[in-house]
Structure 1
């Protein structure tokens, strides 16, 4: 999937810039999303364990790997 699709995300969180565990920052960013907004999460690896958490909390996601060690995950409310 092309990362161009993700260019229209309403908010962006680059987890690569977070010192330490980014889970809390990700959850805080998701709490701030309105029903029609999306969050682009940028990470250095595919955050597979996060996918179950997102589903449990009522979010959908799409993932792209546009470059080595770069993952884009667009997250929306389900």
Structure 2
């Protein structure tokens, strides 16, 4: 899997007004087969993991600060 610095697309869920799920779904829909998405969140987005797996994505999660999590997503 690519590194967070190499991600093709970025979405900082902390900047989304309201629930970010629709924005995340749109970012996943726009992701080409060979691209990666870096999702930044203020907490570990555990509920998202099942959705990613169901939609055919692989992911790696890293906590980079007390209130910052990076999830690197790509097609499985």
Q: Identify the TM-score tier after normalising by the shorter chain.
A: over 0.9
- Between Structure 1 and Structure 2, how many residues are aligned? 74
Cα deviation digits, residues 38-70 of structure 1 (max 9, x gap): 000000000001000000000000000011100
Partner of residue 71, structure 2: 73
Q: Distance in 1 between matches of 2:64 and 2:27?
A: 22
* Structure 2 segments unaligned to the other structure (5+ residues): none
Which digits, 9 at most, give the CA deviation of each residue in 1:16-57, with x for residues without a partner? Answer: 000100000000000001000000000000000100000000
Provide the residue aligned with 1:28 in structure 2: 26
* SS state at 2:11 partner: strand
C-alpha RMSD over aligned residues: 0.5
Aligned to 2:38: 40
> Which contiguous aligned blocks of 4+ residues in structure 1 show a shift greater than 4 angstroms?
none
TM-score by length of 2: 0.95
1:12 aligns with 2:13: no
